[in-house]
């Protein structure tokens, strides 16, 4: 079975602070993909990143960076110099190849972390 844990239910920071959102995953598959999505109050899920299990290089995109640590099954997301517009719910998700006989949901979302950035 696959599982994604986001231990932080809610985080509040003041604008310009750095903030890290934690994501821990479980899977028995050796080939899998990890995702982060942002859901602002408007409701749409915005895709941020997709990372495959064979690529452990950290990624940086503007103020966003991701730290993938296979040894600890974690895929953490850091926002540098946070802004009010970063306020949203952030979901980490896992997708794996699975087995031929295992029909079912293979795109698993974590419970989400609500980030509030205060001015």
The residues that touch other proteins, with contacts defined as CB under 8 A, are: 31-33, 35, 37, 42-47, 50, 91, 95-98, 100, 103-107, 109-112
- Shortest approach of other proteins to residue 118 CB, angstroms? 20
- Shortest approach of other proteins to residue 112 CB, angstroms? 6
Q: Which two tokens stand for residue 110?
A: 């974590």
**Between 71 and 99, CB nearer to other proteins:** 99
Q: Which two tokens stand for residue 6?
A: 């986001």
- Shortest approach of other proteins to residue 85 CB, angstroms? 16
**Between 43 and 119, CB nearer to other proteins:** 43
**Between 52 and 72, CB nearer to other proteins:** 52
85-105 burial: b if 16+ Cβ within 10 Å, else e: ebbbbbbbbbbbebeeeeeee
**Between 11 and 15, CB nearer to other proteins:** 11
37-60 burial: b if 16+ Cβ within 10 Å, else e: bbeeeeeeeeebbebebeeeeeee
Separation CA 24–CA 4 (nearest Å):
6
- Shortest approach of other proteins to residue 45 CB, angstroms? 4
């Amino acid at each position: 079975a696959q599982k994604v844990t986001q231990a932080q239910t809610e985080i509040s920071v003041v604008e310009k602070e750095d903030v890290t959102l934690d994501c821990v995953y479980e899977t028995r598959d050796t080939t899998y993909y990890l995702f982060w999505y942002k859901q602002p109050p408007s409701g749409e899920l915005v895709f941020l990143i997709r990372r495959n299990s064979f690529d452990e290089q950290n990624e940086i995109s503007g103020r966003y960076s991701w730290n993938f640590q296979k040894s600890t099954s974690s895929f953490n997301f850091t926002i540098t110099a946070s802004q009010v517009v970063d306020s949203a719910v952030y979901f980490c998700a896992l997708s794996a190849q699975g087995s031929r006989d295992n029909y079912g949901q293979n795109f698993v979302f974590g419970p989400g972390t609500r980030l509030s950035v205060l001015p």
